Amino acid sequence: MSRAGHRRWRWASMIAALALLLGLGALLALRQPAAAAPTLAEARRLWLAQAPPRYKLTIIQQTASSTCDQEFLIDGTATVALDNDCRQPVSWTVPRLFNWIAELERERTRCYPDPTMCACRGTIATSVHYDTDQGYPRTIVYEWRKRPNLTSLAYYRSLFDRSFPGCNRDGTGGTVRYAITLAAEP
C-alpha cells in the first residue's frame, strides 16, 4: 500500500471510530433510567391507596401442557366467577394474589414427596411484575423443580423402590405463568 493510501485508510478508520464513539455517547446520554420495579410491599401500598371497590379480574394460567382462564367479578368482599376454565375454587382477589405471592417467595425449598421422606428437594423460583399505576400483579411466573436430595438416605432407598416415580418423573413441577388483567367496574 502506498504511503498516501495508508494515510487515507488511517484517517478513515479514525473518523469511523470517532463517529461510533459519538453515537454510543449520544445513546447513553439520551437513555432514560428505567423506573424501579415495585416490590410486593410497594405494590400492596399502591393497591390499598386506590383499589376500586368493584373490579373484573381476568387470570390466564399457562403451563407447558395447557392454558386455562378465569374471570371474576369482585364487589367488595363478594367474588363471583364469570368464567372458570381452570376448575379451581372461586377465590382470587388482588389481596389474595398478594398473599399467594408472599407465600411463594417465603417457601423456596420443600421436601418431596413429604417431609418424612425427603428423597427430593423441590425449589421454587418466583418472578412478579406489578402494574406501576395500580399495584396489582400483572404477571406471576413461578418455577418448581425437583432434584435428588443426595444428603438423605431416603433418596438412596428410593432408587430401589419401584413405586417411587423419581424426582422429575411424576409430571409435577415446571414453569407456571399467570397473566392478569384488571378492569374497574361501575
Short-list 42, 34, 36, CA closest to 137: 42
Sheet holding 109-114, edge to edge: 78-84, 67-75, 54-62, 174-184, 137-148, 117-130, 109-114
pTM for this predicted structure: 0.68
Model pLDDT, residue 36: 52
Query: Which residues of the chain fall short of a pLDDT of 50?
Result: 32-35
Domain boundaries, the chain: 1-31, 40-184
Model pLDDT, residue 27: 53
Neighbours of 105 (CB within 10 A): 14
Model pLDDT, residue 47: 96
For residue 110 the three cell numbers come to 420443600
Query: pLDDT tens across 60-90, in order?
Result: 999 888 899 999 999 988 999 999 998 888 7
Query: pLDDT tens across 1-21, in order?
Result: 666 666 777 777 767 666 666
Query: What distance in Å separates the CA atoms of residue 19 and residue 13, rounded to the nearest whole number?
Result: 10
